[in-house]
Structure 1
């Protein structure tokens, strides 16, 4: 991975999936006392991984709407 002359780098898909980064996610760079630089979702520098996961799932809730009612889905699954 290489930083461009503009200071840009592509975050690999596997890392974006693990971190819960979606298109449009604002990120921050956090410099730790151990010399490690971390990329975290903005405003979440102190949040735990479980909170980030919860926020990601909340954002996804309702995004897979099939346009069917519960009764229609049950009728399809029961034949």
Structure 2
């Protein structure tokens, strides 16, 4: 289902999509781009819960400041012995 982009960057959401999302004049919508590059539209506040990344809680928490050469030396010595 195609629609045309105006010079102001606006598009009309096709009626079939508005009906499926229960959108009425004045409703807020959210847009996102998924991993495949598809644009996804959600009724604002109705977006499905985002599955958290299993590494998110640990990201940026390491307190060990290894230098690359120190880490490589440690790893190399462990593999030899």
Q: TM-score when scaled to structure 2? A: 0.52
Distance 1:27 1:46 in 2: 13
Q: How many pairs does the alignment contain?
A: 47
For residue 15 of structure 1, what is the aligned residue in structure 2? 17
Distance 2:8 2:30 in 1: 17
For residue 29 of structure 1, what is the aligned residue in structure 2? 31
Structure 2 unaligned residues grouped into runs of 5+: 50-81
1:18 to partner: Cα distance? 1.2
Structure 1 unaligned residues grouped into runs of 5+: 48-79
Q: TM-score when scaled to structure 1? A: 0.53
Larger Rg: 2
Moved runs in structure 1, 4+ residues, more than 2 A?
Answer: none
User: Is the CA contact 1:30–1:45 (under 8 Å) kept in the aligned structure 2?
Assistant: no
1:23 to partner: Cα distance? 1.2
